[in-house]
Amino acid sequence: MTVHAEWTKLRTLPSTTWLGLTVLVATVAFSALATLAVDTSQCPTPTECFEDTTRVSLWGVRVAQVAVAVLAVLAVTNEYGNGLIQTTLAANPRRWTVLAAKAAVVTALVLAAAVPGVLGSLLAGRFILPGNGFAPANGYPPLSLADEPTLRAAVGTVLYLGLVALLAIGVGTAVRDTAGAMIVVFTLLFSFPVVTQLVSDPKWQERLEKVAPMTSGLAVQATTALERQPIGPWAGLGVLAGWAGAALLVGALLFRFRDA
């Protein structure tokens, strides 16, 4: 019943459909642009390009996550903006149940958009990359989900977007203000890479990369040279899950113990 109510509220938000479509389209479109931008002619030889073609083909998720964060934040803060939160809690005073239902509905919608977006990105890469020199003759097999690293990158990318949604829901619940929540989420996602570039000490750069929610989370897309990555694929996704869990915990506690 609570899940159905949350789905009804989310579905009737004017922005939901457009943001859901944006997640799908942005993932595919910007991934395709990224694959079009790489070419073996930029390398010493075609066989010495060492480009992670799977990761390049999934680059669009970096843009799509913005729409995911906006969708998730609005799903929470919109109720505070229009006062509907009072009606929600009057109908169901169990606040943690309300938050869990909202998180489940928003994450399910994000995953539903992420799956075709990721599959479309890989399909675009499969068609575009050979024309840019990333062909079997040069040592680059076609992208395929039958390849375990590519499958892991695809599944991990879908999960990444789901975790970004959970992070944004937690922050939105804690902050309750749309602009403020978006600032916090985008700061968490995008400030770490900037700060890392400003740090001159390689050891501290690596440490920051290991705890950064976006950098560590997107490590799951890596399929080559894993030994040179600051963190392992699933471990990196686990770091993002930790950030999302912490945000949800803070949001849930504040939601439970303060006035609506």
Query: Whole-angstrom Cα distance, residue 212 to residue 229?
Result: 13
Query: Whole-angstrom Cα distance, residue 229 to residue 222?
Result: 8
Q: Which amino acid is at 142?
A: P
Query: Whole-angstrom Cα distance, residue 174 to residue 170?
Result: 6
Token pair in block for residue 21: 């479509």
Angle at Cα 164 formed by Cα 158 and Cα 169, nearest 5°? 130
Q: Are 260 and 86 in contact (CB under 8 A)?
A: yes
Query: Whole-angstrom Cα distance, residue 115 to residue 97?
Result: 27
Q: How far does the chain reach from its first CA to its final CA, in angstroms?
A: 21
* pLDDT in the model for residue 259: 65
- Radius of gyration, alpha carbons of the chain: 20
Length of the chain: 260
206-237: pLDDT as tens digits: 888 899 999 999 999 999 888 888 899 999 99
Question: Tens-of-pLDDT digits for all 260 residues of the chain?
Answer: 778 778 788 888 888 889 999 999 999 999 999 999 998 887 777 777 888 999 999 999 999 999 999 999 999 999 888 878 888 877 888 888 989 999 999 999 999 999 999 999 999 999 999 999 898 988 889 999 999 999 999 999 999 999 999 999 999 999 999 999 999 999 999 998 888 888 888 888 888 889 999 999 999 999 988 888 889 999 999 999 999 999 999 999 999 888 65
* pLDDT in the model for residue 247: 97
> How many structural domains compose the chain?
1
Show the domain range for 138.
2-257
Calculate the CA 196 to chain-centre distance.
20
Distances in Å between the Cα of 195 and the Cα atoms of 117, 181, 203 are 30, 21, 14
Q: Which amino acid is at 213?
A: P
- The three-state DSSP-derived secondary structure of 97-159 is HHHHHHHHHHHHHHHHHHHHHHHHHHHHHHHHHHHHCCCHHHCCCCCCCCCHHHHHHHHHHHH
